[in-house]
Amino acid sequence: MSEDAKRIKMQDDEIFTDEHRALRKTVRAFAKGLSEHALEWDEAGIFPREVFKQAGDLGLLGIRADPNFGGLGLDWWYTTCYVEELVQSRNAGLNMALMVQSDMATPIINEIGSDELKREFLEPAIAGDKIAALGVSEPGGGSDVAAIRTTAKRDGDDYIINGQKLWITNGTRADFITLAVRTGDDGFGGISLLVFPTDVKGFHVGKSLKKIGNKSSDTAEIFFEDCRVPARYLLGEENQGFYHIMTNFQGERLVAAQGCVAGMDLAVRDAIRYGTDRKAFGRPVMKFQVWRHKMVEHLTSIEAARRLTYFATDKVNKAPMAATKEITMAKLFAGDLAQKVIYDCMQIHGGFGYVTEYDISRAWTDIRLITIGGGTSEIMKEILTKLEGL
């Protein structure tokens, strides 16, 4: 049995069935094929559009979505398999772009969009024929959704949109954006959601932002100047978008935690292999007690993080908002832990860990985002203090 097959078989038999393992095998093969281009696409600052189509053809962009519109109609455990195996691409930017498509921009359409909107936007996104982005963050606020200033004013059968969004993954080439706008008064009660096609007059991309990590995902600032879209592109009810954004955040943070845990595990396994082969002072680096102890300490902490994410996954399967505390804890714990784990995995590589051709060097810059994107670690702590009544 190959090492990959053993790793897949080792997953919890009580949670994962043969169907889950079959999905793991599919995603792993897909991701490993992409890994051949990891450095090339990071250096280019983008990856080919056709990758979305390849993922769509495998059914990976709509795992939990309505089968009537191309989805698989499965649960969060299948998403877990997808996220955990996708790290084999060795390219966090690509993974993030795909997960924006599958787990951040389209679930809201799947949940509250009309059948008409699902046919026009969700179905081609699941197929990989259209690229989706999520437009929430603005220069004046990311996690502070109640501070959104981009406006959508009703004008007959249309909305006229003005404003700006920032940090938008897939933003330079998205065919549509699931867009948070202000349709009412200040605060969370005046926010709505629209599907926004990017071929509308008045929309333009400012620039693709250069980042220290996740380089292959395009991240844009985008502008709306008197952009007119049909009112039928409204998702759900006007001024009721805040709740759906908050629910969507739970999914975003959960996949972030899951991917983070899987990425740490991969990095430690790589580090152990490298430390077994690399010699210092006449013996393998892994023969030194300090490194043996560090690696098993990290494996122990990673397993604790995995159990927390699995507990959150079990709860979110039953009711997304009921798992807010566990998801927040999982993202906080995994994100902060990853900073220490990846640091040590890089350190064991010595000078080669500082060379971009080595996966660990890119993992080190990529992992920094986990404590920032989708809500900073500080925001996670504030959420938890409120949930605990502190």
Q: Check 84, 221, 238, 252 and give the catalytic one.
A: 252
Please tell me the distance from the alpha carbon of residue 105 to that of residue 128, in angstroms, as a whole number: 13
Distance (Å, whole) CA 169 – CA 173: 9
Name, in order, each residue with C-beta under 8 angstroms of 15's C-beta and a sequence gap of 6 or more.
77, 310
Reported as type and span, the H/E element at residue 56 is helix 50-57
Please confirm, yes or no, whether 252 is among the known catalytic residues.
yes
Which backbone phi and psi does 362 adopt, to 5 degrees?
A: -75, -35
SS3 category, 384: helix
Which of 267, 388, 252 is CA-nearest to residue 331?
252
Closest CA to 366 of 167, 254, 216: 216
Enumerate the active-site residues: 252
